Structure 1
Amino acid sequence: MSDLRIPRDRDDDYSAAAIKARHELVREHTDSTLEHVASYSLDSGTLPGNIENFIGVAQVPIGLAGPLLVNGEHAQGEFLVPLATTEGTLVASYSRGMKLTREAGGITTTVLDDKMQRAPVFSFDSAREAKAFSAWLDEHFDEIAAAAQTTTRSGRLVEIQKFSVSKLLYTRFNYTTGDAAGQNMTGKATFAACAWIKQNYPGELHFLLEGQFATDKKTSVVNMLHTRGKRVVAEITLPAALVEEHMNVTTDKLWAARLRGQLGAFMSVTNNNGNHSANGITAMFIATGQDVANVAESSALYGFSELLPNGDLYTSITIPSLIIATYGGGTGLATQRECLELLGCYGAGGVRKLAEIIAATVLAGELSLGSAVVAEEWVEAHDNLGRNRP
């Protein structure tokens, strides 16, 4: 067995000495010098709670797309959008879509819902006992919510959804979580709620804190239908002449392509009938310090378009499970905070504004790529802007 061990300092594992010891380990046992990984401007003392065994940073290029014009309930005006990516053409494509939508008067955005879940499953000896417990939950919701509230200042239990199967009751404890994403918050609150339930329920029950029905960091129909994180819509009506001028396509061809794409999405049983929502969402997540694994859920998308009688095109996207934060997690790290400040979204009160900016960005990207595919410019654009090989 190898005696290779990663150095750690129990007293201060983020000190210069502890980091240097890990650098020396890497240089001694690998071919890497860490010349760039070990060069960074952030204060390592700010990292507890974000990473362990710290050695440096992964520098992802950030480009500005925009200006993006948003007519939202929370985001209003023009925004310069930071996109962190290594994919050539991405920033240019989103900027092209933003130019089209800006000249059409801007993208209208609406946050429809906001909830985060933990999903305990309760086990009984029979289906009738599970049924009785379901009714008991309804009768004691206020006490359960109060127990959950003891663990958090910003989270609030608003609903318990119930789904019975066999002698099991699967639940979804739905919370509002303020400006935090809330996965950890809801876990702690739901554990306190379940402890109160177990102590006060007159019958026997067993529970698992998570029955895999919140589908954390996994795509699921239940979250697309019932919301996880923010449910946000971005929509716009595009004049036919403007589309043809900027995108070199007609609206009827875009509409026909949408119909064909709908069928392809249906055949493939995908969570997304759009073009590439994950591109813009991932690039913004990296730039603004979101948990990037949440792209698995957040990239789910319902696209809807309508060719109007005068030839104009109404088009929209609905993101049903956008999991984001403007406080906590990685949002307070140096570069991520700067990007959130660039958008005017850092800290308290910024999360719904950020949701609307992300949704508008996604719609701009959908329009740009969709037009490029129909106009047969997609491959050429990648050849011109997306190749860095000799």
Structure 2
Amino acid sequence: MSDLRIPRDRDDDYGPAAIKARQDLVRERTGSDLEHVGSYSLDPSTLPGNVENFLGAAQVPIGLAGPLLVDGEHAQGEFLVPLATTEGTLVASYSRGMKLCNAAGGITTTVLDDRMQRAPVFSFDNARDARAFGTWLDEHFEEIAAAAQATTSSGRLLEIQQFSVSKLLYTRFNYSTGDAAGQNMTGKATFAACAWIKQNYPGEVHFLLEGQFATDKKTSVVNMLHTRGKRVVAEITLPARLVEEHLRVSTDKMYAARMRGQLGAIMSVTNNNGNHSANGITALFIATGQDVANVAESSALYGFSELLPNGDFYASVTLPSLIVATYGGGTGLATQRECLELLGCYGAGGVRKLAEIVAATVLAGELSLGGAILAEEWVQSHDDLGRNRP
């Protein structure tokens, strides 16, 4: 058995000595000098709760896309959008889409729903007992909600959805979570609720806190239909002349390509019928301190477009499970906070504004890439801007 151990300091694991000990271990074992990983401007004392065994920082280039003109209920005006990426052409492509949308008067955004889940499964001796428990849950919702909400100052239990199968009852405890993403919050609240249920239900009940029905960090139809995080729409009507001027394609060809893409998406059983929603979302998530693994859910997209009778082009994206935060998690760390402040979204009251900016950014990127493919500029643009090889 290996005697290799990562150095830790129980009293000050984020102090200079502990960090140096881990860096020295890596240098001795691998020969890497950690010249760049070991250089950072953030304060390690701010990192408890965000990372363990801290060694250094990964620097991801941030490019500025925009301006992005948004006419939202929460995001209004022009925004410069920080995109953290190593993919050449990405920032340029999003900027091009934003320029087109600005010329058309900007992107309209709307948050339709806002909820986060934990999904315990309850098991019984038979299906009738499971059904009786479901009825009891409905009758005692207020008491259950009170037990859940006693654990959080910003979370509120909105409803408990029920899905019966065999002698099991799968549930989805739906919460509003304020400016936090809320996965940990809902876990703690739901555990308290289940403890109250177990103590007060007149029959025997067994539960598993997560029955994999919240599909945390996994895309799913249930979250696309019922919402996880923010359900937000970005839409725009593009005059035909602007599409030809900026994208060098006609709107009828844009629409024909959309119809062919719809069939391809159906055949492949993908989580969206768009072009590359994960690109802009991931770049924004890294820049603003979001949990990047949530891109698995957040990149789900319903794209809808119409060729209008006058030849203009209506385009929209609906992000049904966009998980973002402006408080908690990684949002308060040094560079991440700066990027949120750049957008005017840091802290209380900023989360729906951020969701609208994300959705508008995605729409701009969808239009730009779609146009590049149609105009046969896609490959050339990557050759021109996306090559960084020794």
TM-score range, shorter chain: over 0.9
Tell me the SS of whatever aligns to 1:128: helix
Which residue of 1 is the match for residue 43 of structure 2?
43
Which residue of 1 is the match for residue 145 of structure 2?
145
- Cα distance in 2 for partners of 1:331, 1:387 equals 31
Give how far 1:158 is off. Answer: 0.5
Which residue of 2 is the match for residue 279 of structure 1?
279
Map of 1:289-304 to 2, 5 A cutoff? Answer: 289-304=289-304
- Cα distance in 1 for partners of 2:221, 2:384 equals 38
- Cα distance in 2 for partners of 1:353, 1:38 equals 35
Map of 1:74-153 to 2, 5 A cutoff? Answer: 74-153=74-153
- Cα distance in 2 for partners of 1:389, 1:383 equals 11
Give how far 1:43 is off. Answer: 0.3
- Cα distance in 1 for partners of 2:220, 2:364 equals 25
- Cα distance in 2 for partners of 1:135, 1:103 equals 55
Which runs of no fewer than 5 residues in structure 2 stay unpaired? none
TM-score between the two structures when normalised by the length of structure 1: 1.00
Give how far 1:388 is off. Answer: 1.1
Which residue of 2 is the match for residue 200 of structure 1?
200
Tell me the SS of whatever aligns to 1:328: coil
Which residue of 2 is the match for residue 53 of structure 1?
53
Query: How many equivalent pairs are there?
Result: 390
Give how far 1:176 is off. Answer: 0.2
Deviations 1:29-74 (A, max 9, x none): 0021100000000000000000000010000000000000000000
Which residue of 1 is the match for residue 341 of structure 2?
341
Query: Does residue 252 of structure 1 match 2:252?
Result: yes
- Cα distance in 2 for partners of 1:180, 1:320 equals 17
Deviations 1:136-173 (A, max 9, x none): 10000000000001100000001000000000000000
The percent of aligned pairs where both chains have the same amino acid is 87
- Cα distance in 1 for partners of 2:70, 2:239 equals 17
- Cα distance in 1 for partners of 2:98, 2:149 equals 42
One-letter amino acid of the counterpart of residue 193, structure 1: A
Map of 1:182-193 to 2, 5 A cutoff? Answer: 182-193=182-193
Map of 1:292-371 to 2, 5 A cutoff? Answer: 292-371=292-371
- Cα distance in 1 for partners of 2:64, 2:305 equals 28
One-letter amino acid of the counterpart of residue 332, structure 2: G
- Cα distance in 1 for partners of 2:389, 2:36 equals 21
> What is the root-mean-square deviation of aligned Cα atoms in Å?
0.4
Which residue of 2 is the match for residue 238 of structure 1?
238
Give how far 1:2 is off. Answer: 1.4
Runs of 4+ in 1 over 3 A off after TM superposition: none
Which residue of 2 is the match for residue 383 of structure 1?
383
One-letter amino acid of the counterpart of residue 20, structure 1: K
Which residue of 2 is the match for residue 27 of structure 1?
27
Deviations 1:106-146 (A, max 9, x none): 00000000000000000000101110110110000000000
- Cα distance in 1 for partners of 2:19, 2:43 equals 12
TM-score between the two structures when normalised by the length of structure 2: 1.00
- Cα distance in 2 for partners of 1:239, 1:80 equals 24
- Cα distance in 2 for partners of 1:320, 1:32 equals 43
Deviations 1:169-228 (A, max 9, x none): 000000000000000000000000000001110011100000000000001000000000
Deviations 1:285-317 (A, max 9, x none): 000000000000000000000000000000000
Give how far 1:25 is off. Answer: 0.3
Tell me the SS of whatever aligns to 1:249: coil
- Cα distance in 1 for partners of 2:333, 2:38 equals 17
- Cα distance in 2 for partners of 1:118, 1:376 equals 45
Give how far 1:389 is off. Answer: 1.6
Query: Does residue 62 of structure 1 match 2:78?
Result: no
Tell me the SS of whatever aligns to 2:23: helix
Which residue of 2 is the match for residue 209 of structure 1?
209
Tell me the SS of whatever aligns to 2:100: helix
One-letter amino acid of the counterpart of residue 258, structure 1: R
One-letter amino acid of the counterpart of residue 187, structure 1: G
Give how far 1:4 is off. Answer: 1.0
Tell me the SS of whatever aligns to 2:376: coil
Which runs of no fewer than 5 residues in structure 1 stay unpaired? none
- Cα distance in 1 for partners of 2:307, 2:32 equals 56
- Cα distance in 1 for partners of 2:303, 2:265 equals 11
One-letter amino acid of the counterpart of residue 239, structure 1: P
- Cα distance in 1 for partners of 2:192, 2:29 equals 46
One-letter amino acid of the counterpart of residue 28, structure 2: E
One-letter amino acid of the counterpart of residue 213, structure 2: F
- Cα distance in 2 for partners of 1:385, 1:328 equals 36
- Cα distance in 1 for partners of 2:56, 2:282 equals 21
- Cα distance in 2 for partners of 1:388, 1:169 equals 53
One-letter amino acid of the counterpart of residue 209, structure 1: L
Which residue of 2 is the match for residue 10 of structure 1?
10
One-letter amino acid of the counterpart of residue 300, structure 1: A
One-letter amino acid of the counterpart of residue 16, structure 1: P
Deviations 1:358-380 (A, max 9, x none): 00000000000000000000000
One-letter amino acid of the counterpart of residue 23, structure 2: H
